[in-house]
Amino acid sequence: MNKHLLAALFFFLPLAALKASEPRPLELPKIQVVPIQDSSTGREYELLIKLPEDYAKSGAKKHPVIYYTDAIWAVEILSATVEYTIQDAILVGIGWQKNRVDWQKNLAGAEKEWWSRFRDLRPALDKDNHENKGEAHKFLAFLNNDVIKYVEGSYRANQDNRTYFGYSLGGAFGVFRLLNQPDIFQNYIIGSPSGLASYMGSLSEAGSQKTISGLPKQTNVFISYGALEHKLGDNVEKFVGQLRNRKPANLSLQSVVIESADHNTAFPKTSVRSIDWLAGRLQP
């Protein structure tokens, strides 16, 4: 046999022996998927929970908890960043509504798995029509009454060390939370908050002034936007200025511009920089 042909046969023999199987989804290690129901509305969600690596060996120690919205989109980068930066934190991601029976079928995009974020993370605005009204107040109650209650009843979670992380609409929800019930979380990470202009007049209202000015304990806020988000950036700067003009006691505010970034590319950079900022707040 021709020696060149023989060499070719030996070369392709291992390839012929290889046999690919059907692909399967990757399950992230150490991530627990916990179904949970909103006790007020009956809406069903999932929590993505990751415990610290040494959780089982940490005895009676209570751990800081980072709650974040849009769980599926953020779980990978937050899981990796926290793994390297804040080894003792519990991560709790809140997903989108799973049962869609109460969704309006005539709404554009309602067939998407993430549609509920447009309802849950936005406050009710005067310009909304009846079918598309924001219900951030209901989602806020769900976090308080169901999510936080479950986490702190099931794990060794430190109720005096809660962090909220939200980006885009999740960032806007963080602003809503900060203006309405700021003392539930000790730390807020608010990235590129979409629709922030809707809140611009709220700080002039007596209720918001009293809430922000009367913080009973230290509250830390990290707020950011991409340098290429010009309109959103203007609104963030105005909002930060309003907050600082109130001179609220017990409020520490870190404002950051993410260099050379638009709304999409600012997300990974915001995640890493904000978690690094948070690590400094969580040091004993």
Domains and their CATH numbers in the chain = 28-99+110-282 (3.40.50.1820)
Tell me what the mean pLDDT of segment 99-110 comes to. 57
Q: Output the six-digit token pair for 106.
A: 């005539």
Chain segment 113-128, per-residue pLDDT in tens: 888 998 899 887 756 6
Q: Which of 172, 187, 104 is closest to 140 using CA atoms?
A: 172
Q: What is the pLDDT of residue 101?
A: 57
Q: What is the pLDDT of residue 180?
A: 86
Tell me what the mean pLDDT of segment 126-146 comes to. 82
The 3-state DSSP class for residue 1 equals coil
The torsion angles phi and psi of 249, rounded to 5 degrees, stand at: -70, 150
Do residues 233 and 227 touch, judged by C-beta distance below 8 A? yes
Dihedral sign, Cα of residue 273, residue 193, residue 206, residue 134: negative
Chain segment 153-200, per-residue pLDDT in tens: 999 999 999 999 999 999 999 999 998 888 899 999 999 999 888 766
Higher pLDDT, 39 or 180: 39
Q: Output the six-digit token pair for 244.
A: 């600082």
Distance CA 117, CA 173 (A): 10
Distance CA 5, CA 156 (A): 66
Q: Which of 102, 107, 116 is closest to 72 using CA atoms?
A: 116
- Comparing 16-20, 67-71, 91-95, 240-244, which segment has the lowest mean pLDDT? 16-20
- Comparing 85-99, 129-143, 225-239, 266-280, which segment has the lowest mean pLDDT? 129-143
Q: What is the pLDDT of residue 203?
A: 47
Q: Is the confidence at residue 256, as pLDDT, over 90? A: yes
Tell me what the mean pLDDT of segment 223-237 comes to. 96
